[in-house]
């Protein structure tokens, strides 16, 4: 009888301990989440301005986003450099992109995923919004190389599908095929490119969305000072920052924001990139010169924070950064 009673007590004790384990782990996750929410926010379900976008406008914008006839030799579309088909992450995964006539630009093509949440567009912030950004590459002589806006409008006006598509998207206008409307439509489509990842699941209350190693990486991300620049819903895209803030970057020739502002204080400043989908949008930095996420974390730790991260710290940070990948997107191997 005594043996049975002992076994029963041990069983009850073990059962109570196992039942208490998840509850004991919850405060740690809750504390980490609360700390993260001081700097980082889940991505909203709708982009700013999307409430005004009609299905017809989005449909037209998607068609234009993939339209190679917007380039002078019918070889380049928005999607050529910002690829979203087949689970691509809004980039071409090249250091710099090839234009219509085989020349490369000087900066890496940033992702269009979640771009609607950025405070400005392009690395130097020269476009205030998505519509303004959409206008630039089409007329850029290295990129899509159309000679002027009127040439674009004439080309589209000669295509029956666009005569119909613009009329449906802008039913109140008698001559809807305009350069402004083209940009508005592309922007409407890009506002639909919102991603969903495990980190947001964690921020919204799922304690088990991240592994222990990933939570450790998040803790390190918060404690190391990364959120000074990488904050908000897209974990970046909210400010300009000098590249080489603490320690200089050797051989840096691109003057960055200064090219636009003409202010010497903006030399080597760039828009802080979003870290959403960062594991999928290699290579890194404004010129695509950093091939791996590990190399980039190591570099940024030194030049921006002044810290020589250990290999274990880099591994943990990368583990966290990989939780920011959209569940429906895939990494592309560059051959």
As annotated, the active-site residues are 143
State how far the Cα of 261 lies from the Cα of 112, in Å rounded to an integer.
24
C-alpha atoms less than 13 angstroms from C-alpha of 97 in its C-beta half-sphere? 26
Are the beta carbons of 327 and 196 closer than 8 angstroms?
Answer: yes
**Distance (Å, whole) CA 116 – CA 129:** 8
Which positions ≥6 away from 175 have C-beta within 8 Å? none
In 3-state terms the chain splits into helix, strand, coil percentages (rounded to 5) of 50, 5, 45
- The residues near 102 (Cβ < 8 Å, ≥ 6 apart) are none
Q: Which DSSP string corresponds to 6-68?
A: HHHHHHHHHHHHHHHHHHHHHHHHHHHHHHHTTTB-PPPSS-TTGGG--HHHHHHHHHHHT-G
Handedness of CA 211, 275, 65, 86 (dihedral sign): negative
| Nearest CA among 218, 245, 248, 224 for reference residue 29 | 218
Q: Beta 240-242 vs 269-271: how paired, if at all?
A: antiparallel
């Amino acid at each position: 009888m005594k043996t049975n009673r002992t076994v029963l007590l041990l069983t009850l004790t073990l059962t109570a301990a196992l039942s208490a384990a998840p509850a004991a782990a919850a405060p740690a996750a809750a504390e980490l989440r609360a700390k993260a929410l001081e700097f980082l926010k889940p991505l909203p379900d709708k982009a700013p301005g999307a409430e005004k976008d009609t299905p017809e406008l989005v449909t037209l914008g998607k068609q234009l986003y993939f339209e190679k006839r917007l380039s002078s030799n019918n070889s380049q579309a928005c999607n050529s450099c910002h690829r979203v088909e087949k689970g691509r992450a809004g980039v071409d995964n090249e250091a710099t992109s090839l234009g219509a006539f085989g020349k490369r630009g000087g900066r890496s093509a940033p992702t269009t995923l979640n771009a609607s949440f950025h405070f400005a567009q392009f690395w130097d912030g020269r476009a205030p919004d998505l519509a303004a950004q959409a206008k630039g590459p089409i007329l850029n002589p290295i990129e899509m190389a159309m000679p002027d806006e009127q040439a674009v409008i004439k080309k589209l006006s000669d295509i029956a599908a666009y005569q119909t598509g613009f009329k449906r998207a802008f039913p109140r206008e008698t001559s809807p095929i305009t350069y402004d409307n083209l940009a508005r439509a592309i922007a409407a489509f890009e506002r639909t490119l919102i991603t969903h990842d495990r980190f947001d699941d964690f921020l919204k209350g799922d304690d088990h969305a991240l592994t222990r190693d990933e939570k450790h990486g998040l803790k390190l991300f918060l404690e190391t000072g990364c959120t000074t620049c990488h904050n908000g819903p897209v974990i970046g895209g909210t400010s300009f920052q000098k590249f080489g803030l603490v320690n200089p970057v050797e051989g840096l020739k691109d003057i960055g924001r200064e090219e636009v502002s003409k202010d010497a204080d903006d030399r080597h400043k760039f828009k802080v990139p979003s870290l959403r989908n960062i594991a999928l949008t290699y290579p890194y930095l404004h010129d695509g010169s950093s091939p791996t996420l590990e190399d980039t974390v190591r570099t940024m730790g030194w030049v921006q924070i002044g810290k020589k991260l250990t290999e274990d710290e880099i591994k943990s940070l990368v583990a966290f950064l990989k939780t920011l990948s959209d569940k429906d997107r895939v990494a592309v191997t560059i051959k």
